[in-house]
Structure 1
Amino acid sequence: MPRIKDLRAYLDALAELGDVRTVDRLVDPHLEVGAIIRRSYETCAPAPLFTNIKGTAPGYRLLGAPGALSSAPGKPLARIALSLGLSADSTAREIIDALAAARTREQIQPVLVDTAPCKQNILLGDEATLDRFPTPLLHEGDGGAYVNTWGTIVARTPDGSFTNWSIARIMMIDGKHMTGLVLHPQHIAQVWQQWADLGEPMPFALVQGGEPALPFISGMPLPNGVEEGGYLGALLGEPLELVQCETVDLQVPASAEIVIEGHLSVERSGVEGPMGEFSGYQPHETSMQPVYTIEAITHRDDPIWPTVVEGEPVDEFHTATGLTLAAEALTQLRAAGLPITTAWEPFEGASHVLVVSVAADWRTALPGVSTGELTQRVNDVIVALRFENLVPRIFVLDDDVDASNVGELMWALATRVHPTGRRIVRTGVILPLLACYTPEQRHTATGDKVTYDALLPAAGKGREPRSSFRFLFPAEVQQQVLENWPN
C-alpha cells in the first residue's frame, strides 16, 4: 500500500477507519489529558486528538495513543500496521515478518532536502520555549510533565561516524530545560558518553510527529553500527527526506511536526522521575540524569504533539518496543541458522516475556538435536544480543501455538511449561524498570533470567494431539460445520 509519510496523512487514514476522535472541549493538561488517553487504551477507543488544551497556544494540538491497539472492528493492529507501511488488516506474524525481512535488505540512506513544513515557524533564543506547547502531567505522582513519550532523539558521535535515532522519556524542568533517561547500553547513552568523555555537551534534536514509523524504529534494538534512518528506508522501500537543523549540525526527518534543538549536559545534574511505566506500575525513585538545554524550536503551523501515557498493557511501549524487539530477535535467530517461525512479545505481558516459535519440521532441519539442546541454542543467541537485559523470560514453543493469541498462549504455557524442570537460568544485567525483580536486584541492575523449554515431544514419541476444533476433527467435518454453523 502507499506509504504514509507524515502524521497528518496518518490521521486521515485513521479517520477513514473511524479510529480517531477529535476532542474540541477545553481539557486540563493537569491529569485530565493523561486520564483520557489511559482510558482510551483500556477500552480500545479511537485515538483522542485534543484541539483545545488549557494554557496552550491556539491551534496547537495533542494526539493521544498514536500507536496503540485500534478500535477498528477486526483490525486490532491497524495503527501499528499503517505506521509501518502495511495494510490495516495485517496480522502479528505479517508485521514481524516485514520488520525482520527489512533487516536483511540493503539499507536505503536518507536524502537531504532544502526545506520542509517544520520550518514554517522558527523560534530562537528566548522565544524557543516549551511554554506555548501542550505539556501535560500524565500520571498522578509523576516527577513533572513528560514532554517526550513518542518523539525521536537525534544524536551523532563526535567523530560523525554514527547517527542514532532513539526514543526515551524526557521530563520538562522549565520552558528551556528538560531531563530524561540516558541509560547504558542504549545507543543514546553510548553517544552521550563519547561527548561527555570529551567534556563537551552533546548536540541533540528532538523530533515530535513525522513519519508514523519513526517512533517504532527509534525504539527498535538494532545492533551496534546499524542506523535507524537507513533501516527505515529499507523497510519503507524509499529514502526518508531529512532537513538541516537551525542551530546544531544534525539532520531530522522533514516530515516532523515539531523539532526541538539544543545540547545535552556533560553532568548528570537533573533530578528525573518518577513516571508511570510500561510494567504497569509507577516506581517511586528518581535518578540523576543529564539536562537538555533548548536553543531552538521549529514547527509546522497548528502543530500536533503525539503523546503516550504508559502503564498497564496495552500501550505504545508494548506495541512498539515489544514488537520491534521480537522482530530483531527473529532476525538474529534466523541468522544463526535456527529453524524459527516467528518471535513475539505478548502485549499483555508488559514486555516481560519473549516467545520464540519453532518450525514444525525442526527435527528434520536439526537431526539428533534434543528439545533441550535447541532451547540452549536459542538462549545462547539471545544472551549475546544488546537487548538481552530487557528479556527476563523466554519461552521456546512449537509453532502450532499462535503466540499473539493470548488465550491460546496462556493455555500452552500452562500445559507445556514444566513446574520446576526444563529451564536454563542465567544471571546478568537487567533493566531496573522491569517489575518482576526485587528492590535489591533493581538497584544493582542485576538479576536472574530464565529460558523455558516448552517444546512438545516428537510425533509418535509421546506427543498428544490437541483436543480442539481445528486440530482434532477431520477437514471435511470442519468444513461441514463451518458451512452450517459459521459463528
Structure 2
Amino acid sequence: MTDQSMRSFLAALENKGELHHVERNVDTRFEIASVLSLRERGPAQLFTRVNDATMSVVGNLYNDRGRFACALDVPRAGLDALCVSALERPIAPKIVEDAPVQQIVHRQPLDIGSLLPVPHWFEREAAPYITAGVIVAKDPETGRRNVSIARLRLEGGNRLMAGIAKNHHLARIAEKAHHRGHDLEIAVAIGNHAAVLLGSQMYVGLGDDEFDIVGGLLGEPVELVKCKTVDLEVPAHAEIVLEGRLRPADLIEEGAVSEFPGFYVYYGPGIGVEIGCVTHRADAIYQAILPGYAAEHCLLGAVAIGATLTRDLQRSIPAVRRVFVADGGMGRLHAIITMHRPRLGEGKRAVILAMGLVNLLKLVTVVEDDIDPEDPRQVEWSLAARFRGHEDLLVLPGVRADRCDPLHEDLVVTKIGMIATTRPGDGEPGGRSEFVMPPRDVFERIRQNLHLY
C-alpha cells in the first residue's frame, strides 16, 4: 500500500536536502507570503513556529515538475504519461473506517482563524485565504462527487467565503442545490498527497469523480473516510478537514484578490460558507500554496491541463504526442503541442481544437515530436527553422476568453496559433531541413562509449 499522505513526500524532500526548516517565529500576516515568494523556486519551506499556532505550515512543495514526479514515484519524463494513463484507467476509491485525519475533532463553536495558521497573502486582500483546500461536494441531482480547489477567505468565527468562477462545476452544483431550496454540503481537505491535488485539477466532465483519477495516479484506490457531520467522503490521510455548507444565497463582496497572472482582480461577490466541524491529525501540518503568479500555483494547473488536453486531442488527431502548458504563460494561457509528422492542416486543427477545449488558451505553438517542448531554445529554433508566417500563422480575433485572462475585453480576446512543423520531404537526405551529423555508426559507437572519452 502506498503512503497516501503528504508526509512521505516531506520525508523524501528532507532526505534530499530539499526541505528548508524556518525555525524563527513568523507571522501569518504577509511574512509567510514573503518567504515563499523570495524562495519560490528553491527547497520547500517548513515553518515550525507560526505566531501562537500549534501547527506548522509548509509551502512551495510542488514548485517544479520533478517534484510532482517524485511524489508520484515516476521519472520526471514519465509524469505526463502517468497523468494520461490515470485519466484513461481510473480506479474507484475505497472507504475506510479509521483515518488519521479524524484523530482530533472540533465542533461548534469554532474559530477557524484560531485553529489554523492561515496566511494573509497580499496587501490589498481583505483577509487570509486557504489556498490548498481540496473541496469535495456531491451533485444534488445525481449524487456524483465533484473534487476541486477554490480559494476560501476567512470571514471570522466559523464563516468563510468561497471564490468560485460561475462556469466551474462546483458553482453549477451549488446552483442546483439553491434551486432545490437548500445549501450544498462541502468538505475541505488540506494537506494532501500530490495525487489528490493533481486529480482535483483535471479537466473532466461534470459527473466524473476526480477521486477515480486520483486512484489512477496512485495505482490503487485512494482511501476515503466518511465525514462526521456531512454526507461526504474525504481523503483519509489528509492533514485537516473542514466540514460545512456552501450557502449560494449568502453573497459576500470579495474586493481585490490575487490571480495567476500576478495582478489583483475584482470578481464581485463570493459565496458564503459555514463550517460546523473541523477534524485533523494530532500533529497536523497546514499546507499553503502561494497564490498569484507563483511556480506552484501555475504548475498545479499546467500539469493537469496538459494531461487532459493530450488525451482529448489524441482521440481526434492521432499524430498528437504531447501537450505542454508552459509556466511562462501562467500555467494556463500558453501551450506547445508536439505532433509526429502531421499532415497538412492538422497542426491548425489541433490549435483550434485545443482552444475550444480549454478557453483559457490563447497562444498555442505546434512543433514536431523531435522538439522538447520544455526547452524554450528548441521551440524557438523550431519557429526559426520551420514556421512560415504567411502560411502558418493563425489569428483568431474576438474569441471567447476566460474571466481570468488579463487582457480580455468583454470576455473576448484575440487568440494565436503558430504551426512550426515540417513539410513533406523536409528532413529527408538532401532535403532543406536535413540535420548535419557525423556518420551514424560512428556517432552511435561514441554515444555508447562516451564515458571512456
Q: TM-score, normalised by structure 2?
A: 0.91
Partner of 1:86: 73
Q: How far, CA to CA, are the matches of 2:228 and 2:451 in structure 1?
A: 64
Q: Does 1:465 align with 2:433?
A: yes
3-state SS of paired residue (1:295): strand
Match of 1:53 among 45, 50, 63: 50
d(CA) in 1 for partners of 2:298 and 2:120? Answer: 21
Indicate which of 76, 79, 90 corresponds to 1:95: 79
Instruction: Kindly state the Cα deviation for residue 111 of structure 1 after the two structures are TM-superposed.
Output: 1.4
CA change 1:253–1:452 in 2 (3 A) is same
In the other structure, the counterpart of 2:256 is 274
Post-superposition shift, 1:267?
A: 2.3
Q: Does 1:403 find its partner at 2:373?
A: yes
Deviation, structure 1 residue 354: 1.0
Partner of 1:129: 112
Correspondence for 1:452 among 402, 418, 422: 418
- Secondary structure of the equivalent of 1:459? coil
For normalisation by structure 1, the TM-score amounts to: 0.85
State the Cα deviation string for residues 369-424 of structure 1 (Å, max 9, x = none).
41xx2023313432442xx2111121111111100112322333455445565233
- Count residues with an aligned counterpart: 448
Unaligned runs of 5+ in 1: 70-76, 363-368
Residue ranges of structure 2 left out of the alignment (5+ in a row): none
The 1:311–1:269 alpha-carbon spacing in structure 2 relative to 1, beyond 3 Å, is closer
- Is residue 5 of structure 2 the alignment partner of residue 10 of structure 1? no
Letter in 2 for 1:376: K
8 Å contact from structure 1 (residues 332, 381) kept in 2: no
Aligned residue identity for 1:454: A
Rounded Cα–Cα distance in structure 2 between residues aligned with 1:382 and 1:220: 15
- Relative to structure 1, the CA distance from residue 132 to residue 299 in structure 2 (aligned partners, 3 Å threshold; closer, same or farther) is same
Q: 1:486 to 1:137 in 2, by over 3 A?
A: farther
Q: 1:257 aligns with which of 225, 233, 239?
A: 239
Inter-partner Cα distance in structure 1 for 2:117 and 2:273 = 18
Deviation at residue 268 of structure 1 after TM alignment? 5.4
Letter in 2 for 1:336: S
Whether the 8 Å CA contact 2:29–2:119 is kept in 1: the answer is: yes
Alpha-carbon separation, structure 1, partners of 2:226 and 2:402: 34
> Quick check: 1:146–1:169 contact (8 Å CA) kept in 2?
yes
Say whether residues 1:378 and 2:350 are aligned partners. yes
What amino acid is the match of 2:70? L
Equivalent runs, 1:262-341 vs 2, <5 Å:
262-267=244-249, 269-279=251-261, 281-312=262-293, 315-341=295-321
Deviation by residue 1:328-366 (Cα, 9 ceiling, x = unmatched): 111011111421121101222212211110014x4xxxx
Partner of 2:26, secondary structure, is coil
For the residue of structure 2 that corresponds to 1:348, the secondary structure is coil
SS of equivalent to 1:233: helix
Q: SS state of the match for residue 225, structure 1? A: coil
1:151, 1:207 within 8 Å by CA — same for their partners in 2? yes
Alpha carbons of structure 1 residues 112 and 191: separation in structure 2 relative to 1, 3 Å: same
Say if 1:4 and 1:212, in contact at 8 Å, map to a contact too. Answer: no
Distance 2:437 2:162 in 1: 53
Identity of aligned residues (%): 24
2:406 is the alignment partner of 1:431: no
Contact 1:128 1:297 in 2 (8 A): no
Structure 2 residue matching 1:164: 3-state secondary structure: strand
Partners of 2:452 and 2:208 lie apart in 1 by 48
Is the 2:137–2:185 contact (alpha carbons within 8 Å) kept by the matching residues of 1?
yes
Q: Whole-Å Cα distance in 2 between the matches of residues 466 and 54 of structure 1?
A: 63
The secondary structure found in structure 1 opposite 2:379 is helix
Which amino acid counterpart does residue 278 of structure 1 have in structure 2?
Answer: F
Query: Take 1:449 and 1:460, find their aligned partners in 2: how far apart are those partners?
Result: 28
Counterpart in the other structure of 1:365: none
Q: Deviations over 1:444-485 (max 9, x none)?
A: 322232332222222348964376xxx644442586599679
Letter in 1 for 2:23: D
Whole-angstrom CA distance in 1 between matches of 2:6 and 2:167: 30
Q: Which residue of the other structure, out of 211, 231, 236, is the alignment partner of 1:229? A: 211
Deviation at 1:185, TM superposition (A): 2.3
Counterpart mapping for 1:202-241 below 5 A: 202-241=184-223
AA at the equivalent of 1:430 = A
Tell me, in whole angstroms, the C-alpha distance in 2 between the residues paired with 1:293 and 1:425: 46
**Which of the two has greater strand per residue?**
2
Distance 1:140 1:466 in 2: 55
Distance 1:239-1:477 versus aligned 2 partners, 3 A rule: closer
What amino acid does structure 2 have at the position aligned with 1:3?
T
- Partner AA of 1:142 in structure 2: E
Q: Structure 1's 135 and 398: CA in aligned 2 closer, same or farther, altered over 3 A?
A: same
DSSP 3-state at the match of 1:180: strand
**Do 2:227 and 2:243's aligned partners in 1 also have CA atoms closer than 8 Å?**
yes
Q: Distance in 2 between matches of 1:229 and 1:461?
A: 45
- What is the aligned counterpart of 1:111 among 90, 94, 102? 94
1:158-177 to 2 correspondence within 5 Å? 158-177=140-159
Q: Take 2:8 and 2:274, find their aligned partners in 1: how far apart are those partners?
A: 31
- Looking at structure 1, the residues matched to 133 and 314 of structure 2 have their Cα atoms a distance apart, in angstroms, of 31
Q: Which residue of 2 aligns with 1:152?
A: 134
Residue aligning to 1:186: 168
